[in-house]
Amino acid sequence: MRSSLTTVSIEIAARPSRRRRISVLGATGSIGESTLDLIGRNPDAYEVVALTGGCNTRRLAELAILHKARLAVIADERCHADLKVALAGTPIETAAGEAALIEAASRPADWVMAAIVGAAGLKPTLAAVRQGTATALATKECLVTAGHLFMQEVASSHTTLLPVDSEHSAALQVMADTKHDLIESVCLTASGGPFRTWSRAQMAEATPEQALNHPNWSMGPKVTIDSATLMNKGLELIEAHHLFGLPPAKLDVLIHPQSIVHCLVTLADGSVLAQLSCPDMRTPIAYSLAWPERMHAPTKRLDLAALGGLSFEAPDSVRFPALSLARAALAAGRSAGTVLNAANEVAVEAFLTKRIGFLAIADLVEATLEARADLAAVAPSTIDDVLAVDGESRAHAKTLLGRFASRGASG
């Protein structure tokens, strides 16, 4: 089958009779753990080639032993000695650092989960894509920062790119057999996060602990904070633009507190198609893992009668300006998404370490975009160009931290 929606050819091939070779980049994060939970339920079907983690050596070692991985790579080179100690006496190979992450992603595999958070996942994910097999994409920053170049790599490598964000997975499932010109709009849903009903005055006093208390999803800290600001949904709009080749005017966001409907697609005849499931990332992961088939996932089954009702509302751009910033970056194109993402990563880390207040996250991103409009206007021709803009944007965002730190939580 050739997808009519993406610039990527998705070829359905016969499933090999041998065990499928699997690598998980970002194994110790929430997506990695959920992926390995599914794999671990049918170990005879999978052979784990490589697992990577950031700095949690204990958990990476446990997962490598449990799933009999051939290779375990820790991103932080300072943690390599601890990883070697944890895996001493096992046949598992260890390595550390960016080059080792890229090498791990390059090892022959039938399917790679790319789940390294942030722009740090760009190079390893590209290495996985260049294998020309199947890459499950949970690192949305690859498309936010280098969308056009990244999709060119996917196309030239003849790679099957399978989105893992619940909204994009839902869109792929709903639109897979639909002609591109019959799609009027694609609407991604957002829970609204923990502060959906809070005023700006209340959010000005919000703590990291409160922001990390997501009502529906279990995610890593970076994504959870992005959900609280609605930046996550803005990044997903940019991701959807590149994944499905849809113009910004056809992409929208709707707040849906129950997180049951993940995407709504309006067609030319007035039909609205949707994908529904309980909020559990193992559902979209299972879809990508079993593609082009389906597999059993031990997720809670949806009971609409027990749920009683589903509600929807428009996002509030006054209380949640991050979504508007992302929309503007999408409209601007070029390197605006790279600057946006870099500044946001700096701002989120500063909030989590209590150096700035919650409202200052969007303020810092906006200030960086305004100050570095020259960087946003760069039309990158290589991945190195993207990384250069990313580095300069981060550096500038850090110089602006002091401007917002004095306000703290005052907004």
Count: domains in the chain: 2
Q: What is the mean pLDDT of the chain?
A: 94
* pLDDT tens figures, 250-269: 999 999 999 999 999 999 99
- In tens, the pLDDT along 85-103 reads 999 999 999 999 999 999 9
Q: Is the pLDDT of residue 170 over 70?
A: yes
Query: What is the model's pLDDT at position 358?
Result: 98
The pLDDT of residue 405? 87
| Contact present, 204 and 357 (Cβ < 8 Å) | yes
Residue 224 lies in a domain: no
In sequence order, the 6+-apart residues with CB closer than 8 A to the CB of 391 are 342
Residue bearing tokens 């946003």: 376
pLDDT of 14 over the 90 cut:
no
pLDDT of 8 above 90: no
pLDDT of amino acid 177: 81
What is the C-alpha to C-alpha distance for residues 53 and 72, in angstroms, rounded to an integer?
A: 8
Q: Where among 149, 168, 187 does a domain terminate?
A: 168
Q: What is the mean pLDDT of residues 41-45?
A: 95
Asked if residue 187 belongs to a domain, the reply is no
Is the residue at 276 inside a domain?
no
Spatial distance between the Cα atoms of 153 and 107, rounded to a whole number of angstroms: 17
pTM of the model: 0.93
> Among 234, 243, 231, which residue's Cα sits nearest to residue 148?
243
Q: Which residues span the domain enclosing 362? A: 322-405
The predicted structure's pLDDT at residue 22 = 98
Task: Specify if 92 maps to a domain.
Answer: yes
Q: Which CATH number goes with the domain that contains 347?
A: 1.10.1740.10
> For the CA atoms of the chain, what is the radius of gyration?
21
Q: Quick: pLDDT tens for 173-228.
A: 999 888 989 999 999 999 999 999 999 999 999 999 999 999 988 888 999 999 99
The answer as to whether 91 is a domain residue is yes
Average pLDDT over residues 146-169: 98
The predicted structure's pLDDT at residue 204: 96
- Mean pLDDT, rounded, for 77-81: 97
State which of 116, 138, 168 marks the end of a domain: 168
pLDDT tens figures, 316-372: 999 999 999 999 999 999 999 999 999 999 999 999 999 999 999 999 999 999 999
- At 17 the pLDDT is 57
**Euclidean distance between CA atoms 82 and 219, whole angstroms:** 26
Q: What is the pLDDT of residue 127?
A: 98
Mean pLDDT confidence for 68-81 = 98
- Structural domain contains residue 273: no
Last residue of a domain, one of 126, 145, 168: 168
CATH of the domain at 161: 3.40.50.720
Residue 157 lies in a domain: yes
Q: Which of 111 and 176 is assigned the larger pLDDT?
A: 111
Strand order, beta sheet including 261-267: 251-255, 183-190, 261-267, 272-276
Residue 290 lies in a domain: no
